[in-house]
Amino acid sequence: KAGVTQTPRYLIKTRGQQVTLSCSPISGHRSVSWYQQTPGQGLQFLFEYFSETQRNKGNFPGRFSGRQFSNSRSEMNVSTLELGDSALYLCASSDIQGGETQYFGPGTRLLVL
Amino acid sequence: AQSVTQLGSHVSVSEGALVLLRCNYSSSVPPYLFWYVQYPNQGLQLLLKYTSAATLVKGINGFEAEFKKSETSFHLTKPSAHMSDAAEYFCAVSTGGATNKLIFGTGTLLAVQP
């Protein structure tokens, strides 16, 4: 099976802009989670989707949003970008729910200037 | 609330030496515990997972971890380090239930000296 894919891999934006990142899970996986990785804060959970429903959300401002489509692909959006949003955004997918192993994509590296 | 503590942000070993990366967790319910490895400019790769089936868990690339409930620990070991083991290692905990949310430790950067 193909792994988790994320597009784009690299992105440069300026403050105030918005950005949309995409994630395609492993075929058959219905759960998609997003994480932000920064040198200062480490790996932090953003949100989780299962069957198109957000079932868990981390402690991030409302500028961060996401959605999941019927084919389990997911997108996350960050509006009104700030310098501190520069990070590696990782997507992970898993089979069902509850303690299942999450398989991570290569990430999208976002740089906000 | 769950949490993970990784002692030692940087660990350096010689090639062929024992690798020991420490992880302690806090969880109000029986946890699922994971070790992931991250190579530069890549995502996270699963090394191993504890799900209560056995306290000693064997993973990929010769790594293993032992779950010790009394010590709330899940330390990662490898008998003999290889240069290719140089990477960052993350311990993570999940409560399971209706979520796959992972809480990660701060990571340990492993250097392997020739």
Check CB contact under 8 Å for B97 and A100.
no
| DSSP per-residue string spanning chain A | ----EEE-SEEEE-TT--EEEEEEPPTT--EEEEEEEETTTEEEEEEEEETTEEEEE-S--TTEEEEE-TTS-EEEEE-S--GGG-EEEEEEEESSSSSPPPEE---EEEEE-
CA distance to A26, A95, B62, B89, B93, per residue, from A74 (Å): 12, 15, 34, 27, 23
Q: Which residues 6+ apart lie within 8 Å of A18 measured at CB?
A: A77, A78, A79, A80, A81
Query: Residue A99: its pLDDT value, please?
Result: 63
Query: Residue B100: its pLDDT value, please?
Result: 82
Task: Inform me whether the pLDDT recorded for A98 exceeds 70.
Answer: no
What pLDDT band is residue A97 in, cutting at 50, 70 and 90? low
Residue B43: which of A45, A90, A98 has the nearest Cβ?
A: A90
- The mean pLDDT value for B52-63 works out to 90
C-beta of residue A30 within 8 angstroms of C-beta of residue A96: yes
Task: Inform me whether the pLDDT recorded for A7 exceeds 90.
Answer: yes
Residues forming beta bridges with residue B14, ordered by sequence position: B113
Query: Residue B77: its pLDDT value, please?
Result: 98
Other Cβ atoms within 10 Å of A58 Cβ, number: 15
- The mean pLDDT value for A48-58 works out to 92
Other Cβ atoms within 10 Å of A97 Cβ, number: 17
Give B24-44 pLDDT, tens digit per residue. Answer: 998 877 788 999 999 988 899
Task: Inform me whether the pLDDT recorded for A104 exceeds 70.
Answer: yes
The whole-chain average pLDDT of chain B stands at 92
Rounded Cα–Cα distance for residues A105 and A91 (Å): 6
Query: Residue B54: its pLDDT value, please?
Result: 82
For chains A and B, CB pairs below 8 A equal 66
- The mean pLDDT value for B43-63 works out to 91
From chain B, the residues in CB contact with A105 under 8 A are 43
- The mean pLDDT value for B45-72 works out to 91
Residue B99: which of A42, A56, A104 has the nearest Cβ?
A: A56
Query: Residue A88: its pLDDT value, please?
Result: 97
From chain B, the residues in CB contact with A106 under 8 A are 42-43
Give chain A's contact residues with B (Cβ, < 8 Å). Answer: 4, 31, 33, 35, 42-45, 48, 55-56, 58, 90, 92, 94, 97-107
Residue A42: which of B44, B98, B106 has the nearest Cβ?
A: B106
- The mean pLDDT value for A99-103 works out to 83
Residue B99: which of A35, A44, A55 has the nearest Cβ?
A: A55
What pLDDT band is residue A6 in, cutting at 50, 70 and 90? very high
Check CB contact under 8 Å for B98 and A55.
yes
C-beta of residue A111 within 8 angstroms of C-beta of residue A11: yes
- The mean pLDDT value for A96-104 works out to 78
Rounded Cα–Cα distance for residues A108 and B67 (Å): 33
